[in-house]
């Protein structure tokens, strides 16, 4: 209010349009100041885009770009987007702004839709996605780095140049130690037990071809496969390295299975 030269007691009497316009002026002044100080790349954005007026956000972004901003960020602050809503919003934003602009999708995972919404945003023309290691962030967290990059690599055939996929599980353990926040054992891709197989039909199949029950290639993410007996508690069961050998016969696979029951 003071920035706009208004008395603080007027806040309840002023129309919504005043705040929408003042918000844009405040943003643009900040961007211009950063430019005057020599900053060349400026990301700018607001909150609660997924529950806001898309036309206002487009106006907001255009003003910020004109003031010297370079990377507008559109947020799903409380994680309420569905994939369908993500496409609806993102396609309109992309269509209204200069082609090829590095628009940022900042998403949350309150309904467990962070990764699919991020992929939808990228497929709608967004160029940047905010991700975090292990998905750590406010409340249910943000888009999980491991889910996003591996889904792009395996499901969509999009490889990120220079990205060290084999370090993802190592990074996950490091983040657990540093943050004190453990991941569930069956966390996709980086969970401690997601490459362990117990069911008899699973363990037999894994000796023939790991692709039968492994959607994420263990080697890609630096994981080691493990087999457990169905009737032996996992902590006491013997572990094996399951090597993909397509030439192994069914009889040979069946003959090996009893040895896994040794405690």
Residue by residue, DSSP assigns 8-76 as GGGTTTS-HHHHHHHHHHHHHHHHHHHHHTT----EEE-S-GGGS-HHHHHHHHHHHHHHT--EEEEEE
Question: What value does the CA radius of gyration of the chain take, rounded to a whole number of Å?
Answer: 25
SS3 187: coil
Tokens 């945003």 sit at which residue?
121
Cβ-contact 68, 104 below 8 angstroms: no
The verdict on residue 203 lying in a domain is yes
Domain count, the chain: 2
Q: What's the token pair of residue 144?
A: 């999980």
Asked if 111 and 215 sit in the same domain, the reply is no
Q: What is the pLDDT of residue 254?
A: 56
Q: Which residues, listed in sequence order, are joined to residue 71 by a DSSP beta bridge? A: 43
Q: Among 91, 114, 129, where does a domain finish?
A: 129
The domain in which residue 109 lies consists of 8-129
Please provide the size of the chain in residues: 263
Q: What is the pLDDT of residue 16?
A: 75
Asked if 116 and 31 sit in the same domain, the reply is yes
Cβ-contact 232, 244 below 8 angstroms: no
The verdict on residue 80 lying in a domain is yes
Q: What's the token pair of residue 130?
A: 């905010």
Q: What's the token pair of residue 175?
A: 């983040």
Mean pLDDT per block of 10 residues along the chain (263 residues) reads 72 74 93 97 93 94 97 96 97 96 97 97 97 96 97 96 96 96 94 80 68 82 70 43 48 51 34
Q: What's the token pair of residue 117?
A: 């919404």
Q: What is the pLDDT of residue 13?
A: 72
The verdict on residue 148 lying in a domain is no
If we measure between CA atoms, which residue out of 65, 63, 75, 83 comes closest to residue 23? Answer: 63
Q: What is the pLDDT of residue 209?
A: 67
Asked if 109 and 216 sit in the same domain, the reply is no
> Rounded to an integer, what distance in angstroms lies between the CA atom of residue 260 and that of residue 263?
8
> Rounded to an integer, what distance in angstroms lies between the CA atom of residue 109 and that of residue 137?
9
SS3 131: strand
Q: Among 129, 150, 181, where does a domain finish?
A: 129
Q: Which residues, listed in sequence order, are joined to residue 227 by a DSSP beta bridge? A: 197
Between the two ends of the chain, the Cα-to-Cα distance in Å is: 71
């Amino acid at each position: 209010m003071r920035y706009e030269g208004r008395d603080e007691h007027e806040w309840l009497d002023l129309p919504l349009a005043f705040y929408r316009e003042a918000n844009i002026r405040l943003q643009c002044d900040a961007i211009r100041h950063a430019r005057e100080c020599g900053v060349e790349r400026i990301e700018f954005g607001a909150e609660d885009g997924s529950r806001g007026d898309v036309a206002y956000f487009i106006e907001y972004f255009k003003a910020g770009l004109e003031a010297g901003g370079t990377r507008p960020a559109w947020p799903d602050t409380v994680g309420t987007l569905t994939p369908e809503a993500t496409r609806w919003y993102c396609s309109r934003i992309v269509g209204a702004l200069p082609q090829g602009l590095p628009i940022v999708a900042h998403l949350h995972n309150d309904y467990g839709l962070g990764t699919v919404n991020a992929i939808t945003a990228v497929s709608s023309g967004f160029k940047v996605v905010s991700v975090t290691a292990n998905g750590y962030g406010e409340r249910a967290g943000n888009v999980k780095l491991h889910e996003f990059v591996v889904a792009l690599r395996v499901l969509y055939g999009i490889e990120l140049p220079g990205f060290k996929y084999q370090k993802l599980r190592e990074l996950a353990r490091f983040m657990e130690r540093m943050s004190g926040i453990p991941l569930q054992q069956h966390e996709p891709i980086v969970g401690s037990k997601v490459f362990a197989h117990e069911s008899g039909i699973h363990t037999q199949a894994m000796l023939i071809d790991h692709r039968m029950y492994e959607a994420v290639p263990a080697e890609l993410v630096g994981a080691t496969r493990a087999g457990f007996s169905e009737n032996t508690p996992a902590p006491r069961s013997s572990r094996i390295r399951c090597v993909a050998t397509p030439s192994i016969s069914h009889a040979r696979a069946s003959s090996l299975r009893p040895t896994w029951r040794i405690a």
